[in-house]
């Protein structure tokens, strides 16, 4: 379906370092291959507004389901699935850097629920955003409103410690010891852990595992690459270690993921 999925990069220079991209989805459920999609844990935060097309989000790790139209997903290792509740999926959203939410609220991110109700966290700001988005006539107008709300909500905070840590971990593709990350940015491991919990919502080790999972699954999409090749490319000691790490996060073995890779998404509804 033409223009069923549109991606738009932020135009503001400040937001370019915080937001990966905005996206717009509009497609009938009958055109989707799967009516309920399993979401592989993803080292990014997702903001999403589903208009009148509410969805059922299930946390299979906690055996809890929530029906929402405007949500924020935290970075976590929980096993999540999403099921449309109407005949259409229509959504405007954004994939943002792991510390982006800390730029928008003074709340300790680790204390927030597994699925954040945007209206609970941002109150009148979220309601105003909903009203403005509902009046837009095109995806480009919606992208402008999403960018505006980010700029209006952005707090003046020094998050250099967590930003430098994330950049260092990603530069090394997760193949760096947390102790070395702390040493290079000039803090103790305990301080670094505290920054991760407060500003990202998970531990440094959990973040590394999610990053390596994302990289591994992207490699699995290339059918020419064997699991053995991926194991050593991601710096696992052996295939058993790789399998145990992937299965502990997703509930699936690498072989199962590789076989059903089209069934999974990285919080890209």
Cα angle 22, 205, 113; round to 5: 55
| Eight-state DSSP code of residue 67 | E
Q: Regarding beta strands 19-28 and 5-8, do their DSSP bridges make them parallel or antiparallel, or are they unpaired?
A: antiparallel
Q: Which of 250, 245, 243 is closest to 264 using CA atoms?
A: 250
Q: Of 2.70.98.60, 3.40.50.720, 1.10.1740.10, 2.60.120.10, which CATH number belongs to 5-153?
A: 2.60.120.10
**Section 34-61 average pLDDT:** 87
Q: Of the ranges 79-83, 192-196, 265-269, which is most confident? A: 192-196
160-265 is classed CATH 3.30.110.70: no
pLDDT-derived band at 3 (thresholds 50, 70, 90) equals low
pLDDT given at position 105: 97
Torsional sign, CA 155, 157, 162, 168: positive
Q: At what angle do helices 160-171 and 189-199 cross, to 10 degrees?
A: 100
User: pLDDT digit string (tens) for 97-156?
Assistant: 999 999 999 999 999 999 999 999 999 999 999 999 999 999 999 999 999 999 999 999
| Tens-digit pLDDT profile for residues 151-196 | 999 999 999 999 999 999 999 999 999 999 999 999 999 999 999 9
CA-based nearest residue to 147, from 43, 16, 266, 267: 16
Q: Which residues pair with 21 in a beta bridge?
A: 95
Residue 246 has what pLDDT? 86
Sequence-distant (≥ 6) Cβ neighbours of residue 7 within 8 angstroms: 21, 22, 23
Percent of the chain's residues with pLDDT above 90: 62
Q: Which residue bears the tokens 């939410």?
A: 101
Q: What is the DSSP letter of 33?
A: S
As a whole number of angstroms, the distance between CA 161 and CA 196 comes to: 9
- Cα torsion 251, 255, 256, 260 to 10°: value is 130
pLDDT at residue 264 in the model: 59
What is the overall mean pLDDT for the chain? 90
Model confidence band, residue 236 (pLDDT cutoffs 50, 70, 90) = confident
- CA neighbor of 88 nearest in space, from 118, 51, 57, 59: 51
The candidate with the shortest Cα–Cα distance to 217, out of 164, 265, 158, is 265
Give pLDDT, residue 180: 97
Percent of the chain with pLDDT over 70: 95
* pLDDT value at residue 113: 94
pLDDT at 33: 66
The residues, any chain, with a CB within 8 Å of residue 66's CB and separated by 6 or more, are 56, 57, 58, 59, 115
Q: Is residue 40 within 8 Å of residue 46, measured between CB atoms?
A: no
Q: Tell me which residue of 156, 146, 99 sits closest to 125, measured CA to CA.
A: 146
Give the pLDDT confidence score for residue 10 in this predicted structure: 97
Q: What is the pLDDT of residue 34?
A: 65
Phi, psi of 138 (to 5 degrees): -155, 160
Note the helical H segments in the chain: 118-122, 124-134, 139-153, 160-171, 178-185, 189-199, 204-220, 227-233, 239-250, 254-259
Evaluate whether 145 touches 136 at the Cβ level (below 8 Å): yes
Domain ranges for the chain? 5-153, 160-265
């Amino acid at each position: 379906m033409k223009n069923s999925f549109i991606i738009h990069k932020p135009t503001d220079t400040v937001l370019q370092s915080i937001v990966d991209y905005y996206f717009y989805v509009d497609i009938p459920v009958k055109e989707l291959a799967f009516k309920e999609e399993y979401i592989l844990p993803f080292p990014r935060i997702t903001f999403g507004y589903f208009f009148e097309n509410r969805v059922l989000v299930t946390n299979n790790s906690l055996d809890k389901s929530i029906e929402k139209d405007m949500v924020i997903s935290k970075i976590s290792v929980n096993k999540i699935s999403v099921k449309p509740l109407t005949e259409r999926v229509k959504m405007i959203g954004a994939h943002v850097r792991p510390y982006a939410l800390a730029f928008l609220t003074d709340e300790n991110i680790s204390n927030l629920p597994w699925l954040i109700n945007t209206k609970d966290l941002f109150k009148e700001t979220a309601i105003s955003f909903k009203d403005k988005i509902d009046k837009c006539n095109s995806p480009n107008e919606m992208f402008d409103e999403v960018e505006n709300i980010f700029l209006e909500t952005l707090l003046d905070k020094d998050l250099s410690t967590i930003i430098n840590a994330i950049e260092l971990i990603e530069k090394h593709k997760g193949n760096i010891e947390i102790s070395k990350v702390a040493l290079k940015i000039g803090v103790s491991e305990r301080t670094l852990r505290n920054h991760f919990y407060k500003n990202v919502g998970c531990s440094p080790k959990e973040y590394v595992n999610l990053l390596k999972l994302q990289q591994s699954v992207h490699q699995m999409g290339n059918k020419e690459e064997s699991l053995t090749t991926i194991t050593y490319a991601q710096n696992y000691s052996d295939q058993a270690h790789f399998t145990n790490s992937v299965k502990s996060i997703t509930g699936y073995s690498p072989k199962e993921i590789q076989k059903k890779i089209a069934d999974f998404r990285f919080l890209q509804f």
